[in-house]
Every structure is written in structure tokens, then in C-alpha cells.
Amino acid sequence: MFHHESEVIAWINGQLRFGIRPGLERMEKALTCLNNPHLTVPTIHIAGTNGKGSTVTYLRCVLEEAGYQVGTFTSPYIETFNERISLNGRPISGEDLVRCVNRVHPIIETINQSDLGPFTEFEIITLLSFVYFSEIEVDVLIYEVGLGGRLDATNVISPMVCGITNIGHDHEKILGPTKIQIAHEKLGIVKQGVTLITTEEDPDVLAEFETITHKRQCSLIKALEIYRPTQVSLSEDGVTFNWPSLEGIQLSMKGEHQVKNATLAYGILKYLKEKRKFTISSVHIYRGMKLAFWAGRFEVIHKQPLIVLDGAHNVEGMKNLCQTVKKLYPNKKKVFMVSILKDKDATEMFKYLEKVADEVYFTTFNHPRAQSAKEQYELYHRKNAGYHEEFHSLFQSVTQTLCEGDCLVITGSLYFISEVRKSILLGDLDNFFEPHLV
């Protein structure tokens, strides 16, 4: 029996040692024991290599504006562990977390002793979300896939609609070395007769989408073709653009790639409205899209000097980040502080980084998959670079050299961004300047 959320979090984090163990048997067994709480509320399922969290946020904010109670399941967390399970953007309380864990703990322990066990951290958190949302008043749940799709722990739900942002090269050791193989894994979320909406643009990948959706007798909606964005304008305040039937859409989240994420959300919302699942007006869409905010995604935490946090944790993410920095700040000195995990394609990521960075400093943090600062530095092997194994010290030394008109971009693993963000906002590093969220 658990009594405090700190005990719960410690126990769940302890399951990390079991790593990634793809498969749905443990989840299905546990859910049967819990009387299938995952089938009690309508769901939306979101997969893809990049942009899942942002897409979930656009969906949530618009549906909230329309007056609905919206549950979300996302990963990883940026500020607090509890935010992975949220209602209308508010993380599950410590009391509710304890209550839900005490309900699932005996079931997990029993299955752990069987041939199906043991459970992973992600599976346990997914189970907790099902239990929590089944016990509260909620109109719709939006589930973000953790890894891949076909064997992901979230793939036990029966969604109203599925969305896939894009297919890129990430987690190749688990999902496969080619985009087609990766696509096949992510397309595993597509259920018989359930419409799939996507913003993928690669013709070869889309051919795989068409094959799978045809086999499963479901519609494929290519959102960027039907709701093609035009007049895209990028500024330090965000992005403005038009959809065919809506002009002057404003996003507060920065980067042209956010237009694609918003378009996927828009396509899903339009589909659900047409199916009369929800009542959504143009006003709800305008307001929700502008209000949407996702911590650690091109997040400006200080203005002078400019400091940006962005979880560009893979090749596509680094490409998007570098393009955005180049367009927004063409005349600023661009300094990067970077920490990339061991299993990422750092070589390809560095090709984008070197094109925009005036200086690059590598560091590391406490995580099982973290790569040492020295290893990253040696792999980068370019001028105007340095490294320090302790990111607090590196941040302090780098910020001391920044001028008012410079730009510091802190990027890499989302786990790293979470650690840095907590350190800054807790005040560990504010002897140099007072950070503020804007």
C-alpha cells in the first residue's frame, strides 16, 4: 500500500530497469483484471516521429475552448511526472495518483511473477491513466503513442480516429532501419474501419499508408492536401497562415513545422465535427490554436539575452529547429548548448547544426541513455565547439559570455530539456539573470 506520491513515483521509476519490452499481452491481461477501463471514454490516438505532443496540445486546446473535458496522455514529461496524465492541462493530483496505483499495484505484481512479466515504467503509467480517466468526468481522451505504434502500450484503445504526424528516422533499432518499416510499425495503431488522418508527405510512405488503410477498410485523409496551408508567415510571436476556409490562423508555438501539426489537429477536429462527435465552431478553432502552448518546444525563457529551450531530439527535430532559428534570428550570434542521447543519429543532426551555429557546447546529464559531452564533442569535430560534462557549470560559463543581442539555444533530448528547465525555473542558475517565462 502506497501513502504518498513520492513513494509511487519512486516505485514507477524503479521499473526503468526493465527498459522497453514491446508487446500488448501484459496490458491486455491487466486491463481484463480491471474490467477494461480503457473502453469507457471516447479516444483519439496520435502517432508519428515528431510533433505528437504539439498535435495533442492543439486538439486539447480547441476542444477545451468548445467546452469539453479533455484528458491527455503524453510523454515524456517536462515539468512534473504527473503532467503525463492530465485533465484540461492540469496534471493528475498526488492523491489521485496514489489511489490509482494502489488499485493497479496488486495486479501488476501478480503479472510480474508470471511468464508475461515484468511491466515497464511506460506500461504502468499507461494503466494508471486508464484507471484515472475511467473514474472522473471526461468527454474525450487523447493518447500520444510512446514508441512506434503496433506494440505500444497505448495500442489497446479503440479510438474514434487516428492521426499520424510523419515518418522519420528514429528508434531504428526497435522499429526498423527504413522509413517503410518504421511506417508499418506506426500504422499498427490503425484499427479496422477507423479513419486515419496524416500530414505525411513522402509519396513512398503514403503508398504504405494507402495499402494498410485499404486492408483495414478505413479511410485515409491527407490533411495537407485537403486543408493546404497558405500565406505562412513566421515571426518572433509565432506563425500566421490561412486554411482554405479559415484565414488568419495564429499559432503561438514557433516554427513552420507547427503549421503541419496544427493542420493535422484541424483535420481531426473537422472529421469529428462532421461525424457529429463534437460541436466545434470557427471561434473555438481560432482561440484554441492561438492558446496552445507546449513546454520545451521552441520555448523562450529569457528575452535579453534570448534563451530558447527546444527538444530537438532527432534528425527531423534538429532540422526544424535550425531552420526556425535561422529564419527568426538571422542577425543574432547563435550559441547552442546540446545534449543528445546515445541511440540518436547525431552525425546527421550535426549536419544541420553546423549550418547555423556560431558556437556549439556539448554537455550531458543523468540518464541511462545519455552520451558523454566529450563523445559528442569528438563526433562533432568542428571549429567553435567545446564541452563540459556538468551542464550547470556549462550554462553558467556560457551565459557569462552572452551579449544582449545574442541567442542561446539549449537543445537535444527532451529528458535533458526537462532537467535544464527545472534547474532554471527553480532558481539554481538565476545569479546571472532572473529567468522568466514569456
Which pLDDT does position 436 carry in this prediction? Answer: 41
Structure confidence at residue 168 as a pLDDT band (50, 70, 90): confident
**CATH domain 5-291 topology:** UDP-N-acetylmuramoyl-L-alanine:D-glutamate ligase (3.40.1190)
pLDDT exceeding 90 applies to what percent of the chain? 87
In angstroms, how far is the first alpha carbon of the chain from the final one? 42
Q: Where are the domains of the chain?
A: 5-291, 299-425
How high is the pLDDT of residue 437?
41
Segment 353-375 shows an average pLDDT of 95
The x, y and z cell numbers of residue 236, run together, are: 518572433
438 band by pLDDT with thresholds 50, 70 and 90: very low
Residue 172 banded pLDDT, cuts 50, 70, 90: low
Q: Are the C-beta atoms of residues 158 and 43 closer than 8 Å to each other? A: yes
CATH 3.10.20.740 fits 299-425, yes or no: no
Tell whether the model's pLDDT for residue 310 goes beyond 80: yes
- In tens, the pLDDT along 39-74 reads 999 999 999 999 999 999 999 999 999 999 999 999
Question: Is 60 exceeded by the pLDDT of residue 432?
Answer: no
pLDDT (average), residues 150-171: 93
Question: What does the DSSP 8-state code read for residue 191?
Answer: P
For 49, residues 6+ apart whose C-beta sits below 8 A from its C-beta are: 165, 166, 167, 168, 169, 170, 182, 186, 314, 316
286: cell is 481560432
Distance between CA 378 and CA 366 in Å, rounded? 20
Reduced to 3 states, what is the DSSP secondary structure of residue 19? coil
Order across the sheet with 85-87: list the strands.
Answer: 90-91, 85-87, 70-73, 140-144, 43-47, 161-164, 196-198, 220-222
Lowest mean pLDDT among 23-27, 218-222, 338-342: 23-27
C-alpha cell at 370: 545519455
Q: What is the mean predicted confidence (pLDDT) over 126-147?
A: 97
pLDDT at position 429, please? 44
Instruction: Classify 244 as helix, strand or coil.
Output: coil
Mean pLDDT of 75-102: 96
**Contact (Cβ atoms closer than 8 angstroms) between residue 96 and residue 84:** no
pTM here is 0.94
pLDDT digits (tens, 9 = 90+) for 284-293: 999 999 999 9
Confidence of residue 16 (pLDDT cuts 50, 70, 90): low
Please name the helix (run of DSSP H) or strand (run of DSSP E) that holds residue 362, with its range, or none. Answer: strand 359-362
347: left (phi over 0), alpha (psi -120 to 50) or beta: alpha
Greater confidence, 389 or 13? 389
What is the pLDDT, as a whole number, of residue 14? 86
Helices (H), 329-427: 346-356, 373-380, 391-401, 414-425
**pLDDT category, 344, cuts 50, 70, 90?**
very high
